[in-house]
Amino acid sequence: MKASLEDKKSFLTWFIQNNQLKRRESLWILNYLLNHEQLLKNVHFIEEVSLTNRGMGLATIESEQDPFVYYKDGRKFEDPEQAFHDLRLNWQETFYLELYFDNAYQVLSAYGILEQNPNIEEGSDMSFELGEKVESSLNRLAWKERKRQLLLLIDQALSDQNEEKFQSFTDELRKIDEKIKANDL
């Protein structure tokens, strides 16, 4: 997915207003990007910037990541001035940016600017697929627990000779079993 310039600018404006970066130079770089559209057009917001041949990672104060990292041709640097100099000199080249902050994936996705890292094959990026599997497993566990509770409630309704509750609980149990059989869970 190719992010639009307006979406990038909108996100950067929001990010600068709502986050505090660990290094002030990081803020300067983001402001520079925001004010130089030709450069911002070549910036791609991604995950795993360390796998790129040219990019940087900037951390907010809440993040446990390094405050500033710059990757160039397989080497890692921590000097923001070096990165800024490279950014200005080679403004026509593709540049990758990863921001380390709470809920980064969700926020970048909501703004429509999170792009696939070109150095990660789509099939090997298991985070989305793994997330779906985890969610599916949690749903199954929740339904199994509800089923267990319903069986206890059905036993109690039988002991109390409460036909209305018995009918209600067995109806709910039947619906859960149908969903499980239909593989909806």
Nearest-5° angle of CA 175, CA 181, CA 183?
A: 105
Output the pLDDT for position 36.
95
Q: Are 86 and 92 in contact (CB under 8 A)?
A: no
Q: Residue 76: left if φ>0, alpha if ψ -120 to 50, beta else—which one?
A: beta
Output the pLDDT for position 165.
92
Q: Are 46 and 14 in contact (CB under 8 A)?
A: no
pLDDT by residue, tens only, the chain of 185 residues: 578 899 999 999 999 999 999 999 999 999 999 999 999 999 999 999 999 999 999 999 999 999 999 999 989 999 999 999 999 999 999 999 999 999 898 889 888 899 988 888 765 545 655 666 666 677 777 778 888 888 999 999 999 999 999 999 899 888 888 877 765 55
Output the pLDDT for position 176.
80
Output the pLDDT for position 46.
94
φ, ψ dihedrals at 44, nearest 5°: -120, 125
Output the pLDDT for position 1.
57
136-139: Cβ within 8 A, 24+ apart: 136/185, 139/185
